[in-house]
Structure 1
């Protein structure tokens, strides 16, 4: 039987994970990335138990976990620094079988890229056109022309593949707030637990990275495209520099030139994630706000599920319909939940913020963990997709 070929447009986390999953199912894959190299700008990334199940299916869970820091505790504080809720993440691991880990986005991307043969990776290959030619797809790009049975659109929030396949689909919409992300220098005594601090129309959070560094983020409700003053670092200091400890000390350990700022967007629900012999995954299909830390986790789930559907349905059309049915309801539900959490976290009217804080203080921790079961309890379909490679792990349920 001839080897099936897939062209993946976009070399981020979702695109590389899809390439790994399909490669280990016997597909010939190439990943077209418009940038001159496979890298990831950004800061920290949270990987929850569902992401580790997807990584386990790819044979990469142990390796990726070794690159990160396991967060053992966390919680939410109010603007005065008082705890509204606290979470023992060992209970999360006991309940869901895997930990919550935080690592740098670039480290995850590198682990995925290194799981592929070098010839699969084609940087500097911006796509200019995608169309059908009989039973095959044709992808025209800066490096030439690719012919394949399957195109995977993993090219992010403003996906060109989505526009080509679903020309009438809605575009991204502004979530109503902007975000700053940054990583500190190594600290002699990092905070023992991560936390998110809720203000009024603003939030600030931090969590541990390996090597004594901390990943920090801040949000503020602002009109889309609001300019900053002299520098993003100065703006972060102005907004959060007098917040409760340890936030001032963390900001003092942030190099002034590493603060990233992005307005946050989400993708309105699509009617389908597929068109012809093209599948969308990750942000191209369901870009969501980062409030649940599930963006990359859902992309990893997409990749594993897509490979499983293609393996169990020899007909590509049937496989893509099964993928759409499996992924669209789930990812859109997660996106809605993330949006709701962001709306609550960004409340600015004092009586509403007080009511929010009171409700958070009274909510039982176990109820919070139970409420996360629909998100974190996902199981990879069909078992590992690792071919001849195996990874031995003990999973507790």
Structure 2
């Protein structure tokens, strides 16, 4: 279709990616971000081939590659260190052209910001509803898990709910001593501990706990040492390499009730606003990037905005809601298990599973081909 104008509400990864995609097809785009300024905070992202391919389609893949580390080694372990399933990053690279990669969220966000011209992103812009937005042919609601625009468009939808898990995470102050897997996950009863290594050698770790919402600790790092200090190496070493003030703590919310549509009128929902999911598959950011590419491609190829949004909804709703269900199920089979018999059966099944079966599970969501934008 002919070029148009768009307002993107939300300057996170999904919103910035949408703006880049729309500009690549010739649209005039304004991004409204409520934060007064962008702060380079946050932890890390593990990204599969689908996310990397989406970045390539947006024209920022090479810039992001300069900031990522390929993750070849690792797997899933029990708290005593027993290897239950091995991650074969080299096999993923042979199948998909890229292994899993690790990147600091701040680095990814910086690359996306730098791909947009000065003045495109306006910070300090609080958007409480559709009224008052600048006139535009398209509104992209990329305003996150607690999306105000989603609540306005779907007033009867329950919105995001607590997933049952809280996550504590941090990036180590320094690289840990000794060898360490690139990407690892450990499942214990009602808890998970994982890590990924960045290009500078520092490590992001995360701890998932099944606890009631709102639980906080006077000293989060001390609580992590109490909960995980007896787990296998390098878990204690990662905690020792962390400053207490660097630990982030967030309750995880998800859209457990799927939305009936991702579009209403001229508004398209994108990223967490459309399909907030648990982080168990590491697909949240990649699905938002996919959204951005598909939205731009459909707008470029359809005769009207209405038809483009119909195609976007049909394509993205089915895939993202399938990924969200799979992520929820992965959590239930991981940290969601607490009974000793259930965890023993799961661990045995993982240990006995053929490597090809494990590889296919990784390929299930990562093997995605982006549409061409031009």
Interval containing the TM-score (normalised by the shorter chain): over 0.9
Q: SS of the counterpart of 2:66?
A: helix
Deviation readout 1:156-179 (Å, 9 max, x if unpaired): 000011112222222111111111
Within a 5 Å distance, the mapping from 1:286-301 to structure 2 comes to: 286-301=275-290
Q: SS of the counterpart of 1:152?
A: strand
Q: Is the CA contact 1:166–1:275 (under 8 Å) kept in the aligned structure 2?
A: no
Q: SS of the counterpart of 1:227?
A: coil
Q: SS of the counterpart of 2:200?
A: helix
1:261 is the counterpart of 2:240: no
Deviation readout 1:248-284 (Å, 9 max, x if unpaired): 1111000110001111111021100000000000000
CA distance in 1, matches of 2:373, 2:214: 44
CA distance in 2, matches of 1:67, 1:189: 23
1:374 aligned to which of 360, 364, 369: 364
Match of 1:103 in 2: 103
CA distance in 2, matches of 1:157, 1:124: 19
CA distance in 2, matches of 1:106, 1:61: 16
1:351 is the counterpart of 2:341: yes
Within a 5 Å distance, the mapping from 1:267-346 to structure 2 comes to: 267=255, 268-346=257-335
Match of 1:27 in 2: 27
Q: Against the structure 1 CA distance between its residues 85 and 326, is the aligned structure 2 distance closer, same or farther, given a 3 Å change threshold?
A: same
Match of 1:123 in 2: 123
Deviation readout 1:169-203 (Å, 9 max, x if unpaired): 22111111111111112225451432111111011
State the TM-score, normalized to the length of structure 1.
0.91
Q: SS of the counterpart of 1:8?
A: strand
Match of 2:172 in 1: 184
Q: CA deviation at 1:107?
A: 0.5
Deviating more after overlay: 275-284 vs 232-241: 232-241
Match of 1:389 in 2: none
Q: What stretches of structure 2 of length at least 5 have no aligned partner? A: none
CA distance in 1, matches of 2:58, 2:65: 13
CA distance in 2, matches of 1:316, 1:109: 28
Match of 1:38 in 2: 38
Between the two proteins, the alignment pairs up a number of residues equal to 371
CA distance in 2, matches of 1:41, 1:270: 30
Deviation readout 1:304-337 (Å, 9 max, x if unpaired): 0000111111311111010000000000000000
Q: SS of the counterpart of 1:257?
A: helix
Deviation readout 1:197-239 (Å, 9 max, x if unpaired): 11110111111012110110011110122232x2211211111
1:233 aligned to which of 211, 214, 221: 221
1:200 is the counterpart of 2:161: no
Q: Against the structure 1 CA distance between its residues 40 and 170, is the aligned structure 2 distance closer, same or farther, given a 3 Å change threshold?
A: farther
Q: Is the CA contact 1:19–1:29 (under 8 Å) kept in the aligned structure 2?
A: yes
Deviating more after overlay: 243-252 vs 122-131: 122-131
1:169 is the counterpart of 2:157: yes
CA distance in 2, matches of 1:231, 1:261: 11
Let me know the Cα RMSD of the aligned residues.
Answer: 1.4
1:216 is the counterpart of 2:205: yes
Match of 2:239 in 1: 251
CA distance in 2, matches of 1:227, 1:208: 27
Q: What stretches of structure 1 of length at least 5 have no aligned partner? A: 132-137, 140-145, 386-397
Once superposed, which parts of structure 1, at least 4 consecutive aligned residues long, lie more than 3 Å away? none
Q: SS of the counterpart of 2:182?
A: coil
